[in-house]
Structure 1
Amino acid sequence: MGASGWHYYVPYRPDLQAALAELRRNVFEAGDYWWAVPYEFGKSAADFPDRPRTEDDLWADESVQESGTHSILDMSHVLTDGEEPDYGTIQPVTEAEALERVGVAKLTRAHVEALEPLAERRWFGRCAVLHDPAGDPREVYFWGFSGD
């Protein structure tokens, strides 16, 4: 099947780990992920009434562990300054990266396309705080690639 790209916009929260946790909860509850057990491509878990009812149940299956969910559920942790990117982690865009990519430190939705190449590794994601025209943080953009 290969890795799938995914992206999400969520309301801004200063605690990016809390924003990730809420996003993961929403995606799981909505069934907006690929469930490896039935191996039916082109369908989401929402298409199956017998899908797992908890994330622990989902990840207990070896097929899911190997194939992932092709969604944000494959990511578990937002890195803090100094932490090295690893499997299943989300790295925030740094000010230096923002300046290099788009020439400004306060990113907006208009910059998303220029930022997307920063998520170049599979099973790894990125996030960026996006600002409104007045420069106030409004949302967090999560994106990356995962799944096999």
Structure 2
Amino acid sequence: MGASGWDYSVPYQEDLVGAFDALRRKVFEEREYYWVSGADWKPEKERLPWPETEEELWADEMAQEAGTHSILDIFRIIGPDEEPDYSTMKQVTEEEALRVLGTRKPTRAHVPRFEEFDHWRWYGRCAVLHDDRGEPQEIYFWGFSGD
């Protein structure tokens, strides 16, 4: 199938990890992800029902290999001094935004340029988006995952 790019936006809140966790729950509950073991390319008698829990999802060997092509493939947000690793997400710092975008407070208008930030497959990024007055409005999550 190949990897897929994905992105999400949620209203701003100070608790970045809380916003991330809530978004992951929403994507799982609303089935906004690729479920390889229930995919329609498989003969109907071999398709499995949607998992009831994330534990059930990740217990599936095919899901482990193919991923979900969504934020569910990312398990934790790392700190600004940590090195990116498989299934992690890193927030864009103000210094990084200034270097890449020329501003410490990116807006929705900057999103098309976010591909200029460091990124790898099976790794996510996030950034706080601001309004024209510099007030935080959204948290934008994006990445590239799945096989």
TM-score (norm 1): 0.90
Distance 2:115 2:26 in 1: 23
Which position in structure 2 is the counterpart of 1:72? 71
Structure 2: runs of 5 or more not aligned: 42-46
SS of the counterpart of 2:125? strand
Q: Tell me, yes or no, if the aligned pair for 1:119 and 1:143 is still in contact at 8 Å.
A: no
Counterpart residue type for residue 23 of structure 2: L
Q: Tell me, yes or no, if the aligned pair for 2:100 and 2:116 is still in contact at 8 Å.
A: no
Distance 1:100 1:82 in 2: 17
Distance 1:75 1:59 in 2: 12
SS of the counterpart of 2:38? coil
Deviation at residue 39 of structure 1 after TM alignment: 3.4
Deviates more, 1:25-34 or 1:92-101: 92-101
In the alignment, structure 1 residue 135 sits paired with structure 2 residue 134: yes
Q: Cα deviation per residue 1:76-100 (whole Å; 9 max; x = unaligned)?
A: 1111122111001111112222112
Equivalent pairs, count: 142
Deviation at residue 119 of structure 1 after TM alignment: 5.1
Which position in structure 1 is the counterpart of 2:7? 7
Distance 2:11 2:56 in 1: 28
Which position in structure 1 is the counterpart of 2:89? 90
Deviation at residue 62 of structure 1 after TM alignment: 0.4
Distance 1:140 1:53, change over 3 A: same
Structure 1: runs of 5 or more not aligned: 42-47
TM-score (norm 2): 0.90
Q: Tell me, yes or no, if the aligned pair for 1:119 and 1:144 is still in contact at 8 Å.
A: no
Deviation at residue 134 of structure 1 after TM alignment: 1.6
Aligned alpha-carbon RMSD (Å): 1.6
Deviation at residue 49 of structure 1 after TM alignment: 9.4
Q: Tell me, yes or no, if the aligned pair for 1:119 and 1:125 is still in contact at 8 Å.
A: no
Distance 1:110 1:29 in 2: 30
Counterpart residue type for residue 84 of structure 1: E
